C-alpha cells in the first residue's frame, strides 16, 4: 500500500473569544488508502475537510490523532487493521512507529519529501512571480538533493516537454503565461523528483473548461508514464468521475462513502452521495434530491451522523438531540398549532434527551407529534410523552454513531441504513 | 417580435496602458419577454462585460465604439456612443451623464445579481435595510400606501376583507376589487401574504389579517405619507425627511419579510435583522436575488450567481430561479461559464467567444446539436458523470489587444479555411431560431 490513513483526525483549536475554547473539527476519524499508480478522488463541498485531509497525508500539518502509514507492506497493514479491531494497542504502536509519517523526525521526513508532493489550486499564487520557470521547476530537485545544478537544469527541459510546453519557456516568468500554462509548470514542478505519491488540491478549479480538459488529460498521461499514486481533491464530481479509479465522498469532516468509481457514480448508497450526484446540473439519472439547509458549523457538528439534519432518509436514531427537536416542536406549537402553548411558556430542552413543554397536556402534544411525524422528521426520535414537571415531558431515543459498513465489492458506507443487525 | 431588451452590434474596448483591449466585438443579443437567456463562455469571452454594459456599469477607460442597448424604445448607452474620439476626461463626463440617466432604471426596471454575494452586500447594514433601501429609493409610494392602508382600515374593514378572502379562497382579483372599493390600496398584498403562509394555522392567520388595521401615526407623518402616495417624491426638508424615511424603512422591512418568505428563506423575521456575515452563502445569494427582484424589474441580469456556492446549494438556487421564471414576469439573462448549469435554467443559450456571440439558439439544439466548431469542442471538453473521454481545445484564447483578422476562433479551429483568416463570418440562420457565426454554415 502506497499510503494509508487510519483514524486520522485534525481539530484546529480556536483562539480568543470569551466563551472559552473550542475546536474546528476539520477531519474526524478518517480512513483512506491510495495504492501505487492509482487515482483516488476525494469529493466534498467546501468545508468538508478534503483539503485538510490532503495536507495531513503529506505531513504538512500534524494530525490531532491517528496515523498516516506510508509505503507499508500489504500484510503489515492488514495486521494493523486486525490489531485495531482487536484493540491491540501494542501491535498497532509497533507498526505505526515504523511506518507512520507522524512519527518521523525532521530529517527522515525531508528524505520522504522527494517521494511525495503536492499541486495547488491557484496557479496565480502558487508560483513565485519573481522566479523564472526554470528556477521554479528546479527548486524541489535541488532542495531535496535529488539532482544538482546543471543536471537539474537539463531535467527541467525534459520536464517541460513532458507537460507539453516548449523548452524556451524555461526563461519566462509566471506572469507571461496563461492559467493553463502555469498549471502545467506547477505540474512539472510537482513531478520533478519523480515522486510516488502526489496530492492534487483542486488542480483545475481555477481554469476554463478547455484548459481543464487539457490538464486532466495530461495528468492521466503522467500517471501512466510514471506510475504515480494520485489523490485528486475536488468539488467537481464530474472531474472525479472522469479521472479516478476509486472515490471517497466527504461530508463535514468525515468520509461518508468510499469505493470504486463506477459503482459509486451509478449506484450511490449514502443519502448524501445520492443527493450530491443528483444535484450535478445536467444529470438526468433519477429524480433530483434537493437538500434543505447547508453544511453544519464544524465547531459544534451535529451529534450522531453529521448529515442527519439535512438527510431526506433520516431515521429515529440518527443523532437527534433535545435542542434540535425542541426547536422544531416549538416552531410547530407557535405556528401551525397556535394556541396550544400558553402565553409565556416555553419548550425547554433538559439535558440531551429530554424536553419539557411547559403548561401543555401530554395528550395534545402526543397528537401533534403523531400528525407531523411524516413531515417533521426530527419528531420520529420521540418515544414517550408523559405528564410531569408542570407540563408535558418528551423523551427522545438514544442515538447511534454510524461506523463504516461494508456493502458490496470494495464499498464502504457510513450510514445506519446499511448496518447489519 | 417585441423584445424585452436587445443588444445591437455592441463594441466595447478598454484603454489600458498596455494597449486597447477589445472586449466586445459586435455583440448581438435579443432577450424575449419572459424567457431565460443563458450566456456561456470562457473567461475573457466578454460575457460579464456584456452584462455590465447593459447596466451601464462601465469603467472610465471603456469606450463604446458602436452599437446600442435598446430597452423600452431607447438606447441606454447613448451618452457613451456619442463620443467620437476617446479621452478619459470626455469619457468620464459621459459616464457621469449615463449614471444620472440610468439611476431610475437600475434596480427598478433592470437589475443585476452578482457572483460573490459577500462583496455585493454591504457588511455594515442589516440585510433587511438593504432590501428596504431599493424600495425606498424606487418605490416609496408603494410603501406609503401599505402603511396608510393599515392606518385607514377599521376593524370592520378587515373583518369584511377576511370574509372576502375566505369566500373566494384567496383569489387575487376579488381581494383587489374589494380593497379598491374601500380605498385601502396596499392592503391586498399584505393580507394575501398572510393567507398564503403555510407555517401557521388558520386561527392565527385570521387573527393576523384582522390585526391589519387601526394603526396610529402622528399627524405630521400621516401628511407626509399622503403626499408621497399622491406622487410627490420624498421631501427634502431636514427633519421631516428623516422622520419619513424612518417610517418608510420600517415598512420596507415588513415587505422584505414577506418577499423573503416567498423565496424560501426560513424564519425571515429574524433574517432581516441579521448582517451579511451571519448568513450562509446560499442565504446571502437569496438576499441578493430578493434585492434584484423586489421591484418587479423587466430584466434581471444574473452574472454567475451560482459560481461561489457548493453543488447542493447551487441546486437550491437553480430550483429557485426556475420557480421565479414561472412566477414573476421578468426576463432573465443568466451568465455562466458552466454550460450544464445553463442547460438547467435557460430557454435559449448564447455561446460567446472573443467578444462575439458565435452561436445562439434553443437550449436543446445548442447543447445536443451544436453547429459552431467552438461550441462542439467546448461541449466535448466538459467532463460528465458517465466518464466519457474528453478533449481539450488546443491553443490559447487570442490576445484581445491584438485580435487576429477574420474569425476570432481561426487559430484554434480544426476546420479553418483561408477565408476564415481574412473575413469575419456573419451570423447565419441555420434553422428556426438558431444562428451560427461560421462560414461552414453558409456563405459559399
Architecture in CATH for domain B1-109+298-444: 3-Layer(aba) Sandwich (3.40)
CA–CA distance, A233 with A205 (Å, rounded to integer): 10
Backbone phi, then psi, for B56, in 5-degree steps? 75, 20
Helix (H) or strand (E) holding A371: helix A362-372
Instruction: Return the DSSP state at A100.
Output: B
CA–CA distance, A219 with A38 (Å, rounded to integer): 12
CB spacing of B383 vs A336 below 8 angstroms: no
Q: Count how many residues are written for chain A.
A: 421
Residue A163's contacts (CB-CB under 8 Å, 6 or more residues apart) are A184, A185, A187, A188, A218, A222
Closest CA–CA distance from residue A19 to any residue of chain B (Å):
18
Question: Residue A390 — very low, low, confident or very high, per pLDDT cuts 50/70/90?
Answer: confident
CA–CA distance, B102 with B79 (Å, rounded to integer): 11
CA–CA distance, B360 with B341 (Å, rounded to integer): 16
Backbone phi, then psi, for A200, in 5-degree steps? -110, 110
Backbone phi, then psi, for B168, in 5-degree steps? -100, 10
pLDDT in tens, B31-72: 999 999 999 998 889 999 999 999 999 998 999 989 999 998
CB spacing of B381 vs A331 below 8 angstroms: no
Q: Where are the domains of chain A?
A: 1-71+196-215+226-311+402-421, 130-194, 322-396
Query: Under an 8 Å CB criterion, which residues of B touch A?
Result: 42-43, 199-201, 203-204, 280-283, 310-316, 318-319, 337-341, 343-344, 377-378, 380-388, 390-394, 396-397
CB spacing of A238 vs B382 below 8 angstroms: yes
Alpha helix stretches (DSSP H) within B103-237: 117-120, 127-138, 140-152, 155-167, 172-181, 187-196, 202-210, 219-229
CB spacing of B337 vs A208 below 8 angstroms: yes
The answer on pLDDT for A139 being more than 70 is yes
* Residue pair A118/A199 in contact by the 8 Å Cβ criterion: yes
pLDDT at residue A31, rounded to an integer: 94
CB spacing of B344 vs A237 below 8 angstroms: no
Find chain A residues with C-beta within 8 A of B316's C-beta: 290-291
What ipTM was assigned to the predicted interfaces of this complex? 0.85
User: B377-380: which pairs have CB atoms within 8 A and are 24 or more residues apart?
Assistant: B377/A210, B377/B412, B378/A209, B378/A210, B378/B40, B378/B42, B378/B339, B378/B351, B379/B339, B380/A213
CA–CA distance, A119 with A219 (Å, rounded to integer): 11
pLDDT in tens, B229-264: 888 878 888 888 899 999 999 999 999 999 998 888
Give the DSSP per-residue string, B244-276: HHHHHHHHHHHHHHHHHHHTT-SSHHHHTTS-G
Cα–Cα distances in Å, from A408 out to A33, A260, A262, A274, A354? 18, 10, 13, 17, 38
The mean pLDDT values, 10 residues at a time, for chain B of 444 residues are 89 91 93 94 90 91 91 89 82 91 92 87 95 94 92 90 85 86 87 83 84 88 89 83 92 94 88 92 91 94 88 90 90 93 94 95 94 94 86 86 90 91 91 92 64
User: What are the beta bridge partners of residue A259?
Assistant: A247
CA–CA distance, B50 with B5 (Å, rounded to integer): 13
A133-143 vs A149-162: helix crossing angle, rounded to 10? 120
pLDDT in tens, A262-291: 999 999 999 999 999 998 887 777 788 888
Backbone phi, then psi, for B322, in 5-degree steps? -60, -40
pLDDT at residue B444, rounded to an integer: 45
Q: Which fold has domain A1-71+196-215+226-311+402-421?
A: Rossmann fold (3.40.50)
pLDDT at residue B1, rounded to an integer: 62
**Cell matching residue B4:** 424585452
CB spacing of A294 vs B201 below 8 angstroms: no
Which residues make up the CATH 3.40.50.300 domain(s) of chain B? Answer: 1-109+298-444
- Which residue spans within A203-292 are E strands per DSSP? 229-234, 246-251, 254-260
* Residue pair A402/A304 in contact by the 8 Å Cβ criterion: yes
Instruction: Return the DSSP state at A65.
Output: E
Partner residue opposite A209 with nearest CB, options B281, B282, B382: B382
Q: What percent of chain A has pLDDT over 70?
A: 99
**Cell matching residue A11:** 481539530
List the single residue in B with minimal CA-CA distance to A275.
Answer: B312
Partner residue opposite B200 with nearest CB, options A212, A294, A335: A335
Q: Which of B392, B393, B412 would best serve as a mutation to test chain A binding (most A beta carbons within 10 A)?
A: B392
Instruction: Return the DSSP state at A301.
Output: P
CB spacing of A213 vs B382 below 8 angstroms: yes
CB spacing of A339 vs B387 below 8 angstroms: no
Amino acid at each position: 500500500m502506497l499510503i494509508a490513513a487510519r483514524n486520522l483526525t485534525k481539530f484546529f483549536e480556536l483562539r480568543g473569544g470569551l466563551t472559552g475554547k473550542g475546536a474546528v473539527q476539520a477531519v474526524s476519524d478518517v480512513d483512506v488508502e491510495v495504492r501505487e499508480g492509482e487515482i483516488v478522488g476525494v469529493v466534498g463541498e467546501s468545508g468538508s475537510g478534503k483539503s485538510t485531509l490532503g495536507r495531513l497525508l503529506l505531513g504538512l500539518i500534524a494530525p490531532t490523532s491517528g496515523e498516516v502509514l506510508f509505503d507499508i507492506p500489504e500484510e503489515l497493514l492488514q495486521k494493523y487493521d486486525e490489531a485495531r479491531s482487536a484493540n491491540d494497542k501494542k501491535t498497532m504502536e509497533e507498526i505505526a512507529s515504523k511506518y507512520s509519517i507522524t512519527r518521523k523526525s525532521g530529517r527522515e521526513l525531508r528524505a520522504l519529501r522527494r517521494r511525495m508532493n503536492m499541486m495547488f489550486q491557484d496557479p496565480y499564487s502558487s508560483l513565485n512571480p519573481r522566479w523564472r520557470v526554470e528556477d521554479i521547476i528546479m527548486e524541489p530537485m535541488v532542495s531535496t538533493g535529488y539532482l544538482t545544478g546543471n543536471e537539474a537544469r537539463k531535467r527541467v527541459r525534459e520536464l517541460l516537454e513532458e507537460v507539453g510546453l516548449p523548452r524556451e519557456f524555461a526563461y519566462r516568468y509566471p506572469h507571461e503565461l496563461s492559467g493553463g500554462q502555469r498549471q502545467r509548470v506547477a505540474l512539472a514542478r510537482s513531478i520533478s523528483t519523480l515522486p510516488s505519491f502526489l496530492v492534487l488540491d483542486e488542480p483545475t478549479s481555477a481554469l476554463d473548461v478547455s484548459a481543464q480538459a487539457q490538464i486532466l488529460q495530461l495528468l492521466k498521461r503522467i500517471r501512466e508514464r510514471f506510475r504515480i499514486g494520485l489523490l485528486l481533491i475536488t468539488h467537481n464530481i464530474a472531474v472525479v468521475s472522469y479521472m479516478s479509479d476509486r472515490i471517497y465522498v466527504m461530508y463535514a469532516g468525515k468520509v461518508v462513502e468510499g469505493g470504486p468509481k463506477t459503482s459509486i457514480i451509478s449506484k450511490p448508497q449514502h443519502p448524501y452521495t445520492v443527493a450530491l450526484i443528483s444535484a450535478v446540473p445536467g444529470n438526468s439519472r433519477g429524480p433530483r434530491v434537493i437538500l434543505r439547509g447547508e453544511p453544519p458549523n464544524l465547531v459544534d457538528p451535529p451529534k450522531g451522523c453529521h448529515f442527519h439534519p439535512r438527510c431526506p432518509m433520516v431515521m429515529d436514531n440518527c443523532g437527534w438531540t433535545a435542542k434540535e427537536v425542541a426547536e422544531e416542536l416549538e416552531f410547530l406549537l407557535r405556528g401551525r398549532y397556535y394556541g396550544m402553548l400558553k402565553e409565556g411558556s416555553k419548550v425547554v430542552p433538559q439535558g440531551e434527551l429530554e424536553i419539557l413543554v411547559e403548561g401543555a397536556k401530554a395528550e395534545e402534544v402526543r397528537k401533534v407529534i403523531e400528525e407531523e411525524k411524516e413531515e417533521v422528521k426530527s419528531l420520529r426520535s420521540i418515544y414517550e410523552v408523559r405528564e410531569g414537571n408542570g407540563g408535558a415531558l418528551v423523551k427522545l431515543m438514544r442515538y447511534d454513531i454510524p461506523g463504516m459498513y461494508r456493502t458490496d465489492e470494495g464499498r464502504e458506507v457510513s450510514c445506519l441504513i446499511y448496518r447489519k443487525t | 417580435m417585441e423584445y424585452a431588451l436587445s443588444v445591437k452590434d455592441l463594441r466595447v474596448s478598454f484603454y489600458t496602458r498596455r494597449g486597447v483591449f477589445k472586449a466586445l466585438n459586435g455583440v448581438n443579443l435579443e432577450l424575449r419577454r419572459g424567457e431565460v437567456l443563458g450566456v456561456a463562455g470562457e473567461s475573457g469571452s466578454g460575457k460579464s462585460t456584456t452584462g455590465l454594459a447593459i447596466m451601464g456599469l462601465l469603467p472610465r477607460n471603456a469606450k463604446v465604439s458602436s452599437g446600442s442597448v435598446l430597452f423600452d424604445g431607447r438606447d441606454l448607452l447613448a451618452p457613451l456612443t456619442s463620443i467620437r474620439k476617446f479621452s478619459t476626461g470626455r469619457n468620464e463626463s459621459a459616464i457621469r451623464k449615463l449614471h444620472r440617466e440610468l439611476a431610475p432604471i437600475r434596480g427598478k426596471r433592470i437589475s443585476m445579481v452578482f457572483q460573490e454575494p459577500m462583496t455585493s452586500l454591504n457588511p455594515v447594514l442589516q440585510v433587511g435595510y438593504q432590501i428596504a433601501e431599493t424600495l425606498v429609493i424606487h418605490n416609496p409610494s408603494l410603501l406609503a400606501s401599505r402603511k396608510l392602508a393599515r392606518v385607514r382600515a377599521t376593524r370592520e374593514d378587515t373583518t369584511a376583507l377576511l370574509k372576502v378572502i375566505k369566500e373566494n379562497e384567496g383569489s387575487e382579483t376579488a381581494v383587489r376589487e374589494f380593497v379598491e372599493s374601500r380605498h385601502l390600496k396596499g392592503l391586498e398584498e399584505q393580507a394575501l401574504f398572510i393567507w398564503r403562509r403555510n407555517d401557521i394555522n388558520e386561527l392565527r392567520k385570521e387573527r393576523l389579517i384582522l390585526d391589519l388595521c387601526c394603526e396610529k401615526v402622528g399627524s405630521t407623518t400621516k401628511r407626509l405619507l399622503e403626499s408621497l402616495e399622491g406622487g410627490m417624491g420624498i421631501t427634502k426638508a431636514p427633519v421631516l425627511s428623516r422622520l419619513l424615511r424612518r417610517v418608510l424603512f420600517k415598512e420596507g422591512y415588513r415587505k422584505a419579510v414577506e418577499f423573503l418568505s416567498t423565496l424560501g428563506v426560513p424564519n425571515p423575521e429574524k433574517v432581516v435583522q441579521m448582517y451579511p456575515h451571519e448568513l450562509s452563502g446560499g442565504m446571502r445569494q437569496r438576499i441578493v436575488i430578493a434585492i434584484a427582484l423586489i421591484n418587479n424589474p423587466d430584466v434581471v441580469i444574473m452574472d454567475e450567481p451560482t459560481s461561489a456556492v457548493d453543488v447542493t446549494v447551487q441546486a437550491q438556487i437553480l430550483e429557485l430561479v426556475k420557480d421565479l421564471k414561472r412566477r414573476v414576469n421578468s426576463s432573465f439573462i443568466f451568465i455562466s461559464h458552466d454550460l450544464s448549469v445553463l442547460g438547467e435554467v435557460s430557454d435559449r443559450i448564447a455561446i460567446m467567444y472573443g467578444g462575439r456571440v458565435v452561436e445562439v439558439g434553443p437550449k436543446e439544439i445548442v447543447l445536443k446539436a451544436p453547429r459552431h466548431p467552438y461550441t462542439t469542442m467546448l461541449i466535448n471538453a466538459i467532463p460528465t458523470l458517465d466518464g466519457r473521454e474528453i478533449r481539450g481545445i488546443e491553443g490559447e484564447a487570442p490576445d484581445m489587444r491584438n485580435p487576429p483578422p477574420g474569425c476570432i476562433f481561426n487559430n484554434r479551429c480544426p476546420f479553418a479555411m483561408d477565408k476564415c483568416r481574412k473575413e469575419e463570418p456573419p451570423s447565419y440562420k441555420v434553422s428556426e431560431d438558431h444562428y451560427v457565426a461560421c462560414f461552414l454554415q453558409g456563405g459559399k
